[in-house]
A and B are shown apart, each in its own frame.
Chain A
């Protein structure tokens, strides 16, 4: 339980960079935390160039007020948490990633949660590194991060037809839940359109391994992928 005390103490006093590094170590194994964080990268970015995707970027998350990133479209529930003055410190983050809906019922973060305390411990140690030196983590355009597949600007520029997307999406919704639930099968609602397009092309090119998704994406045209991205981006 020592780490709780360290984290809380930290929240009270503005940390120097050296102290923060030590604390990050004391918090947990950031290297393992980076691996655990892969569960989160579908929706969240952190580090240099991180921007808001389906979820807000996580640079400087420690000590940040919940629901406070300008321009991010939060759920009503997270807006209420902002109003209530929820601040993301270790304990709040730990509770939130254990079971998001237990802390902020009605959050759009449709994630089952990380049940293993050590994994939570480690991923928070990893995230803590990106609060320690915020001046070193400038935010920039979304393109600053390398994409999973390189797509021509023409493909990325296609404006999807959401009505066609709605029909095509009916095929996705046999497995993926329209309310964003992610038990056993990932949530695909409210993704930034570009992320959706990149992910589908990664399946289509068989860079991502899942056979069902390779098959489903494999027969979709560039326009159809854009149509799906447009539809799911706005699905409540």
Chain B
């Protein structure tokens, strides 16, 4: 199974680590979690909480303040402030005894079972959980790379990028043009680009009603399409134009210096350009040799890597089957992995894996919609068992209740992640 082992740490370090096997000084098994988002923070918290101190948990996350991607569109739309989507790791450290390390994990030595840190040194593990989220495939949109992200923000990792995009939208000249280059499947948060379009339209309708919104989209169809298109017609009539693949929406290049977007030979001058590039698993997965193509394959029963039985991988970075890449999915997968890891290290009971996901989107004030499904693990993949989606033509009271439900969910999942 271990085909692509990496040994990037000096042999002396590796040998020293190997001589200190399963147990640390306190005699506890060690779990290291890389990535403090919906997958990693949840996994770390559940393992620490449910093992009652029997497992030593280290969480490696570079950011001291974590901004959730979910609800970051609502910040762009003016429904939330940035502080309301900001979280920190203080409770995970103080209430759950998790060793929180703010550093970049740069590589994994799978033979020595250590994680290397950018700041120097390495952290040994008995089980490793990787939940690194996404990175972008450079050059996938010709003319765009990370050096262009200030002129043309992706805003697909929340925080300064989101704030930058919001300020650019608010500074657009009267009657200006907003262009989104939408990503191909699979990508983080399937309805995310279209909720964002709704929020941009919401802002522009009030501040800049003659402005235009153009989406260049390589996909023939997208998540909740009927619901979004109904909402756009109702709330933002005439503002939004989507160029699908039948009109060249998959053939896009950009020039960040001139703010030009070339859609199948037709050049559009953009005032704001939001490029959401092709995505892949967070870099550490590739560095550890755990990817096939852009993603890291896992076994849905335990979320264990199909390439290393001591490493579990969660969330957006994985190729697991039918679940969308979402914070809800990562949180759901984290609980399955946490249970499996505890079972392996302490012999606690392990129950059959169950997964679920719901994605809420806001189209306009009090007009919320949702889509969701339940899943189970098969040997082949995580397979969808049942699902639901909001209907077009729902009454205003139901849409308002759906939006309010999403606010409740945000409180629920963020306390489930951060304590």
Interface, chain A (partner B; CB < 8 A) = 163-164, 166-168, 170-171, 173-179, 181-185, 211-212, 214-216, 218-219
Residue in chain B with minimal CB distance to A209: B398
Which residues of the partner chain B approach A218 to less than 8 Å between Cβ atoms? 386
Tell me which of B328, B372, B411 has the highest count of chain A C-beta atoms within 10 A of its own C-beta. B411
Stretch at the interface among B105-113, B169-177, B401-409: B401-409
Docked pose: A214 CA to B389 CA in angstroms: 12
Which residues of the partner chain B approach A182 to less than 8 Å between Cβ atoms? 408
Query: Which listed residue, A168, A173, A176, A183, touches B407 by the CB 8 Å rule?
Result: A183
| Least CB distance, B373 to chain A, in whole angstroms | 7
| In contact, A168 and B372 (Cβ under 8 angstroms) | no
Given contact pairs A173-B412, A185-B405, enumerate 11 new A-B contacts (beta carbons under 8 Å).
A163-B349, A167-B335, A167-B339, A167-B349, A174-B331, A174-B409, A174-B416, A175-B409, A177-B412, A184-B405, A184-B408
| In contact, B349 and A183 (Cβ under 8 angstroms) | no
Which residues of the partner chain A approach B255 to less than 8 Å between Cβ atoms? none
B351-373 CB contacts (< 8 Å) to partner A: 351, 354, 356, 358, 370, 372-373
B84 interface residue per 8 A CB criterion: no
Q: Mark B376-419, 1 if CB is under 8 A from A, else 0.
A: 00000000011110000000000000001111110111011000
B374 interface residue per 8 A CB criterion: yes
Chain B, interface residues (CB within 8 Å), range: 20 to 34
30 CB contacts below 8 A, A to B, read: A164-B351, A167-B349, A171-B356, A174-B331, A174-B356, A174-B412, A175-B358, A175-B405, A175-B412, A175-B413, A176-B412, A177-B412, A177-B415, A178-B415, A178-B416, A183-B404, A183-B411, A184-B408, A184-B409, A185-B408, A212-B370, A212-B372, A212-B388, A214-B388, A215-B373, A215-B387, A215-B388, A216-B356, A216-B374, A219-B374
Q: Closest 4 A-B residue pairs measured CB to CB?
A: A184-B408, A185-B408, A211-B388, A184-B404
Residue in chain B with minimal CB distance to A169: B335
Docked pose: A175 CA to B407 CA in angstroms: 9
Which residues of the partner chain A approach B385 to less than 8 Å between Cβ atoms? 219
Interface, chain B (partner A; CB < 8 A) = 46, 50, 328, 331-332, 335, 339, 349, 351, 354, 356, 358, 370, 372-374, 385-388, 404-409, 411-413, 415-416
| In contact, B408 and A183 (Cβ under 8 angstroms) | yes
Which residues of the partner chain B approach A164 to less than 8 Å between Cβ atoms? 349, 351
Given A170-B335, A216-B356, A219-B385, CB of A175 within 8 Å of CB of B370: no
Which residues of the partner chain B approach A168 to less than 8 Å between Cβ atoms? 351, 354
Docked pose: A166 CA to B342 CA in angstroms: 14
| Least CB distance, A189 to chain B, in whole angstroms | 12
Docked pose: A64 CA to B314 CA in angstroms: 53
| Least CB distance, A224 to chain B, in whole angstroms | 9
